[in-house]
Homo-oligomer: A and B are copies of this chain.
Amino acid sequence: MNSKTNPDNFFEDFRLGQEIRHATPRTVTVGDVALYNALFGGRFAVQSSDAFAQATGYPRAPIDDLLVFHIVFGKTVPDISLNAVANLGYADCRFLKAVYPGDTLNAVSEVIGLRENSNRKSGIVYVRSRGFNQRGEAVLDYARWVMVRKRDESAPSPGDTVPDLPKAVDASLLGAACPPIKADAYDLTLSGSQHRFGDYQVGEKIDHVDGMTVEEAEHMIATRLYQNTAKVHFNQFAQSKDRFGKRLIYGGHVISLARALSFNGLGNAFHVAAINGGRHVAPLFAGLTVFAWSEVLAKADIPGRSDVGALRLRTVATKDRPCPDFPYKSGDDYEPEVILDLDYWVLMVK
């Protein structure tokens, strides 16, 4: 017991409506961009090229949406999920403002739900977390819920509220982080895909073909880049005594890999506008190879915008299983190789 170290919040320490300002503010730079590119191999032209971004309407290449997500998420870990048994889900995640090199991000969370589990050993904490830039402008807003242990099983539950969260972000709320795109200056040869918004059909499935093997050094470098301190990713000495015997790879690493792989088939899906929901179906470990496929769940126009449209995608990632047959569920259960089931909105030029 040391009073100077992180106090490690347990389930009974949370209060409904509690606001938590998180440490540590973080300036995002072209150094972070280079490292993120090198870890995932992203090729979306808007994020890759200042010249392309400027031609299409951005002041310069914006920071990858998921890098913003991971940094904001990382800030919440010491306060919210250091004692998490499991990261249960995300919902209602919207990207609200583009982030550029030099911007400084910080994060604030509000406890929006608390429900004790029937075994009274743990409970579910629902938080809404928001990322802000150095001008106090919100850049990201999302809900997530985690199962958190109780310190003392006999402690009373701090609440019994489950928030009402949307199944999907409404299309009318998309696009805040995307400036008006000059569609005629958006060069489909440079972007690497000839397929515009109109070329995708609801129900269409796309195998992203390529596979990417993950090394221990890679996922740890990535996760530290986000200042995410969750212990299970870094400490082989402790993990060797755990049920898997291995370091667990941060679930966000799989999201970023799947997003990078999805370039092959979705090359003009240049912006993740919202995440409707996400489930880390099974853990990933170093040495395994990640594949992905996507299905177009819906298409939507964004009110008042003719430059871009929104595709609602389900992207499924697998481990050590190529996806030409679009592996997903077998009955109610996921196929054993499925590790991620992500439901999100991307923007694409019309």
Chain A interface residues toward B at CB < 8 A? 2, 4-6, 21, 23-27, 29-35, 37-45, 48-52, 61, 78, 102, 104, 106, 134, 189-193, 195, 199-200, 204, 206-213, 215-218, 220-222, 224-225, 227, 229, 231, 234-238, 247, 264-267, 287-289, 291, 320, 322
B236 touching A4 by the CB < 8 A rule? no
A265 touching B5 by the CB < 8 A rule? yes
A26 touching B4 by the CB < 8 A rule? no
List 19 A-B residue pairs with CB atoms under 8 Å apart, sorted by A's residue number. Answer: A4-B193, A4-B204, A5-B208, A5-B265, A24-B44, A26-B48, A27-B49, A27-B51, A30-B31, A38-B225, A42-B227, A49-B104, A210-B229, A210-B235, A211-B231, A213-B237, A218-B220, A236-B289, A237-B288
CB distance from A188 to the nearest CB of B (A): 9
Chain B neighbourhood of A238, CB < 8 A: 211, 289, 322
Q: Given A31-B30, A51-B134, A208-B5, does the pair A21, B234 have CB atoms closer than 8 Å?
A: no
CB distance from A291 to the nearest CB of B (A): 8
A236 touching B287 by the CB < 8 A rule? yes
A5 touching B206 by the CB < 8 A rule? yes
Other than the known A24-B45, A215-B216, what 20 A-B pairs have Cβ atoms closer than 8 Å? A4-B199, A5-B206, A5-B208, A21-B190, A23-B192, A24-B44, A25-B48, A25-B49, A27-B49, A27-B51, A29-B34, A34-B225, A35-B35, A40-B224, A43-B229, A51-B134, A211-B238, A213-B235, A215-B215, A238-B322
CB distance from A218 to the nearest CB of B (A): 5
Q: Which residue of B has the minimal Cβ distance to A200?
A: B4
Chain B neighbourhood of A25, CB < 8 A: 45, 48-49, 51-52, 190
Chain B neighbourhood of A106, CB < 8 A: 49, 190
CB distance from A24 to the nearest CB of B (A): 5
Q: Given A234-B212, A287-B236, does the pair A207, B45 have CB atoms closer than 8 Å?
A: no
A48 touching B27 by the CB < 8 A rule? yes
Q: Given A6-B264, A31-B30, does the pair A38, B213 have CB atoms closer than 8 Å?
A: no
B31 touching A34 by the CB < 8 A rule? yes
A191 to B191, CA, bound (A): 41
Q: Which 3 A-B pairs have the closest CB atoms?
A: A31-B34, A23-B192, A25-B49
A212 to B221, CA, bound (A): 11
Q: Which residue of B has the minimal Cβ distance to A212?
A: B234
CB distance from A194 to the nearest CB of B (A): 9
B23 touching A190 by the CB < 8 A rule? yes
Q: Which residue of B has the minimal Cβ distance to A223?
A: B41
A235 touching B37 by the CB < 8 A rule? no
Chain B neighbourhood of A220, CB < 8 A: 213, 215, 218
